[in-house]
């Protein structure tokens, strides 16, 4: 008789490389896309090919957490989606607080991709009196002095920081003091956070630099080969 209990992780979460976790998110998005188009199963080679990875890389990444394939079938898309969501922790609903309602903050409030992945922007905060009390996408803009109160009331665990770099550490300190346990920081600097609070930095200019490097490298290679 088969058990419905999910496979036990083979690797402690702290030992899983960040690159593997990043690829899990890519696998999840691609699997969700496949299901939307009526595809029910996929092999490791097919999944890897769609994302630019080898089949060995896909199998190695997933092997950190268990054995999810089926002989002669490959992966059942719905099943693997459920397992990856469980691994990533997005099989539950996460409430998120946004600090900073400038141009980027407004764009984040309007982003439609959070809810399907299990994230709800539960509150937004700003220090500009002209913005307080306004609403964006149904979310009221609240003053910073209510942050601790609202984080506790709405059981908020995660924070988004979309303030200028000079204000990012202060915003992070206030989120941590309020009880937030994970922060995504859009300011171009590394935050100093206590143990037990996780952070991910999203520097949009840095991402463009990476793309520019790849394009420039190809151009240089083409120029060299053409000489």
> In the chain, which residues have pLDDT < 70?
1-14, 223-227
Per the structure block, which two tokens stand in for 46? 């097919």
What pLDDT is attached to residue 163? Answer: 97
Domain boundaries, the chain: 13-88, 94-206
Q: How far apart are CA 118 and CA 93, in angstroms?
A: 5
Taking alpha carbons only, the member of 102, 98, 79 closest to residue 31 is: 79
How many residues does this entry show for the chain?
A: 227
Q: What is the dihedral of CA 215, 221, 226, 227, to 10 degrees?
A: 130
CATH of domain 94-206: 3.40.50.720
Tell me, yes or no, if the pTM score tops 0.85: no
Percent of the chain with pLDDT over 90: 84
Per the structure block, which two tokens stand in for 216? 């420039």
What pLDDT is attached to residue 6? Answer: 47
What pLDDT is attached to residue 10? Answer: 52
Range list of H helices, the chain: 18-36, 44-51, 55-63, 77-88, 103-110, 147-153, 165-178, 204-226
Cα 188 to chain centroid distance, Å, stands at 17
DSSP reduced 3-state for 178:
helix
Q: Could you read off the pLDDT of 25-61 as tens digits, one per residue?
A: 999 999 999 999 999 999 999 999 999 999 999 999 9
Residue 94's CB: how many other CB atoms inside 10 A?
Answer: 17
Per the structure block, which two tokens stand in for 185? 């920081």
What pLDDT is attached to residue 221? Answer: 83
What pLDDT is attached to residue 2? Answer: 37
Contact between residue 68 and residue 60 where contact means Cβ atoms under 8 Å apart: no
What pLDDT is attached to residue 14? Answer: 58
Taking alpha carbons only, the member of 160, 157, 132, 135 closest to residue 146 is: 132
CATH topology of domain 13-88: Arc Repressor Mutant, subunit A (1.10.10)
What pLDDT is attached to residue 1? Answer: 36
Half-sphere exposure of 120 (CA within 13 A, CB side): 9
């Amino acid at each position: 008789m088969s058990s419905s209990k999910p496979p036990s992780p083979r690797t402690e979460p702290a030992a899983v490389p960040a690159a593997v976790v990043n690829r899990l998110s890519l696998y999840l998005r691609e699997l969700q896309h496949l299901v939307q188009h009526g595809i029910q199963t996929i092999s490791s080679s097919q999944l890897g090919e769609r994302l630019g990875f080898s089949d060995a890389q896909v199998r190695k990444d997933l092997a950190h957490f268990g054995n999810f394939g089926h002989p002669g079938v490959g992966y059942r898309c719905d099943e693997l989606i459920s397992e990856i969501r469980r691994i990533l922790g997005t099989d539950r609903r996460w409430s998120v607080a946004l600090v900073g309602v400038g141009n980027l903050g407004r764009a984040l409030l309007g982003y439609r991709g959070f809810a399907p992945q299990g994230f709800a922007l539960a509150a937004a905060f700003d220090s500009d009196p002209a913005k307080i009390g306004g609403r964006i996408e149904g979310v009221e803009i609240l003053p910073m002095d209510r942050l601790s109160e609202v984080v506790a009331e709405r059981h908020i665990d995660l924070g988004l920081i979309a303030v200028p770099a000079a204000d990012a550490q202060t915003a992070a300190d206030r989120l941590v003091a309020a009880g937030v346990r994970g922060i995504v920081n859009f300011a171009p600097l590394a935050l100093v956070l206590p143990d037990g609070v996780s952070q991910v930095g999203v520097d949009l200019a840095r991402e463009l630099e990476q793309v520019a490097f790849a394009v420039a490298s190809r151009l240089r290679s083409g120029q060299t080969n053409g000489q």
